[in-house]
Amino acid sequence: MLGSGVREAAAALRLGQLTPTELCQKSLSLIKETSFLNAYITVTEELALKQAAEADKRFQQGKPLGVLDGIPIAIKDNFSTKNIETTCASKMLKGYIPPYNATVVQRLFDQGAVLMGKTNLDEFAMGSGSTDGIFGPVRNPWSYSKQYREKRKHACPDGDENSDWLITGGSSGGSAASVSAGTCYVALGSDTGGSTRNPASHCGIVGLKPTYGLVSRHGLIPLVNSMDVPGILTKCVDDAATVLGVLAGHDPQDSTTIQDHFQPFTLPDVIDVTKLCVGIPKEYHAPGLSSEILALWSKAADLLENAGAKVVEVSMPNTCYSIVCYHVLCTAEVASNMARFDGLEYGHRADVKDSTEAMYSATRREGFNDVVRGRILSGNFFLLKQNYEKYFLKAQKVRRLIADDFVNVFRSGVDVLLTPTTLGDAAPYLEFIQEDNRTRSAQEDVFTQCANMAGVPAVTVPAGLSSRGLPLGLQFIGQAFCEQQLLSVAKWFEKQTDFCLLACHENGHIVKQQKITWSLRHGDLRAHLTSHQFIYIYALYAV
């Protein structure tokens, strides 16, 4: 059977086992079948079929543009897409149609990728659950696994199955769900404090945040300019490396991108970790960390050590200040960035004609939700003249200390850091919304936002299943612009865990199983965990 990776699909297209149009039609069909997940805001069916038809012609002529030619993709709805509505899941931008493509979108199009649609998110990417956008929350495909449903039913026999579903994490939850559910091979997210890695972990896929400046932010509607990075969501590490090779490199329209030419790379099949030094930050034993994640983290460290890698405990003493520091800097930049949305040039405009100021005020009150308004107010407070040095300037100094922690650890000989990605598995929606957005974001970003403040690359890889049958991820953090080393380690780990997405849906029932295999420290013991899951694979063809 054809695998679910980009390279396998690309090979099938080159061999003529299926055409880009057939693949596109299957993807569109699955998007309709999984519409209850609410992963997509806009489905670009007409454009997708047009792009697929163009790819058909190139393959018939034997001139594909690259490995992504004819491959279905999805884009988070905070990236500008020419002639396609871009909303940021906000009333403020509902109906806004950009006149240009974001650089990363254009680079994917230049490689022949087929756009299936724009994906759902928290409003203006402010959240960690993908629950706060105007189009409603995104549902995690794993909510519908047979094993999870059975376990949940035993634990809560009186629960309502229609409301007892799981969040995807956020804010790139729609992109994560679209890949996890098999409606596309690749999705773009944005990552400001973990918004790609968090939902990737909860949805059992790979989420990569590249080094700040390696991938252009031009056309990404900004949240926090100094931390925003386009993120990559795929089913395997090889695919993430492939997409990075397409996206990375200098962009004249983004002055923060690197000037040097980026050389795309292919990850080796055989990876030697015997010369690797892996750091385990002791400060990442955070309050609220589940025992399952802790055990998985320990097993992963043992796995690396048994393979010959050097595993050492390291200290990053300023980690404890990171959440508070992040909150100050994030809201300050949010306040600045959100000032452009005033109803004068584009987006929502309130029907108030008393004065320009009254229209401006009413537009922002109507256009932004409570979360966005709250962050704007907080940011403006921190930026007041009397508060600037006390909060914003001090937070900038703490950020430098946090960045220096990474520099010092890597200078000590550590190659990569191994940490948790999230505190636990995906929370049920009704449980998640019991706490406010700010509290949840502070909890969920604890392991991820430090990498954004330091500008270093990080990737989360599926590592196992929880007792509820839900995916758990672990995070590798690397040195700036050392994505090849980082992804090589991630691929090695991925191969050891054997986390395979092999389930498909038939008439509402799961018909295949997922297997996760661990090589453990002692002897030749291997633990086999099986779980049914609601994952669609839309390219199951005989090879």
Q: Does residue 530 surpass a pLDDT of 50?
A: no
| 533 Rama class: left (phi>0) / alpha (psi -120 to 50) / beta | beta
Mean pLDDT of 523-541: 30
Q: Does residue 81 surpass a pLDDT of 70?
A: yes
Q: Does residue 539 surpass a pLDDT of 60?
A: no
Contact 141, 160 (CB under 8 A): no
| Token pair for 450 | 């430090």
Looking at residue 145, what is its pLDDT? Answer: 82
Is there a domain that residue 326 lies in?
no
Q: What is the largest CA-CA distance in the chain?
A: 78
Q: In what order do the strands lie in the sheet with 471-477?
A: 40-43, 114-119, 72-76, 186-191, 229-234, 206-209, 458-465, 471-477, 416-420, 277-281, 310-314
How do strand 186-191 and strand 229-234 relate by DSSP bridges? antiparallel
Window from 295-309, 409-423, 504-518 with minimum mean pLDDT = 504-518
Is there a domain that residue 437 lies in?
yes
* SS3 label, residue 267: coil
| Token pair for 390 | 């006390």
What DSSP letter does each residue of 94-145 carry, written as one string?
A: TT---SS--HHHHHHHHTT-EEEEEEP-SGGG--SSS--STT-PPBPGGGG-
Please give the Cα distance from 55 to 114 (Å, whole number). 9
Is there a domain that residue 287 lies in?
no
- Determine whether 236 is exposed, middle or buried from the number of CB atoms within 10 Å of its CB (0-12, 13-18, 19+): buried
Is there a domain that residue 320 lies in?
no
Window from 324-328, 383-387, 428-432, 530-534 with minimum mean pLDDT = 530-534
Which amino acid does the sequence have at 173?
G
Q: Count of domains in the chain?
A: 1
Contact 465, 472 (CB under 8 A): yes
Is there a domain that residue 399 lies in?
no
Active site residues: 76, 171, 195
- Tens digits of per-residue pLDDT, 215-229? 999 999 999 999 999
Residue 528, domain CATH? 3.90.1300.10
Mean pLDDT of 202-225: 97
Q: Does residue 508 surpass a pLDDT of 60?
A: no
- Determine whether 261 is exposed, middle or buried from the number of CB atoms within 10 Å of its CB (0-12, 13-18, 19+): exposed
Looking at residue 161, what is its pLDDT? Answer: 58
Looking at residue 511, what is its pLDDT? Answer: 33
- Determine whether 513 is exposed, middle or buried from the number of CB atoms within 10 Å of its CB (0-12, 13-18, 19+): middle
Mean pLDDT of 136-165: 79
Q: Does residue 524 surpass a pLDDT of 60?
A: no
Q: Does residue 420 surpass a pLDDT of 80?
A: yes
Average pLDDT over the chain, rounded to whole? 90
Q: Does residue 506 surpass a pLDDT of 70?
A: no
Window from 257-271, 390-404, 438-452, 519-533 with minimum mean pLDDT = 519-533
Q: Does residue 505 surpass a pLDDT of 90?
A: no
Mean pLDDT of 81-90: 98
Q: Does residue 18 surpass a pLDDT of 80?
A: yes
Which amino acid does the sequence have at 318?
N
**How many beta carbons lie within 10 A of that of residue 530, not counting itself?**
11
Range of the structural domain that residue 140 is part of: 6-251+430-534
Is there a domain that residue 310 lies in?
no
Q: Does residue 542 surpass a pLDDT of 80?
A: no
Looking at residue 419, what is its pLDDT? Answer: 98
Q: Give this prediction's pTM.
A: 0.92
Looking at residue 163, what is its pLDDT? Answer: 66
Is there a domain that residue 338 lies in?
no
Q: What is the band of 198 on the pLDDT scale with cuts at 50, 70, 90? A: very high
502 vs 413, which has greater pLDDT? 413
Looking at residue 422, what is its pLDDT? Answer: 97
Q: Does residue 431 surpass a pLDDT of 60?
A: yes
Percent of the chain having pLDDT more than 90?
83
Q: What is the band of 534 on the pLDDT scale with cuts at 50, 70, 90? A: very low
Is there a domain that residue 381 lies in?
no
Contact 415, 276 (CB under 8 A): yes
Looking at residue 162, what is its pLDDT? Answer: 61
Mean pLDDT of 295-303: 97
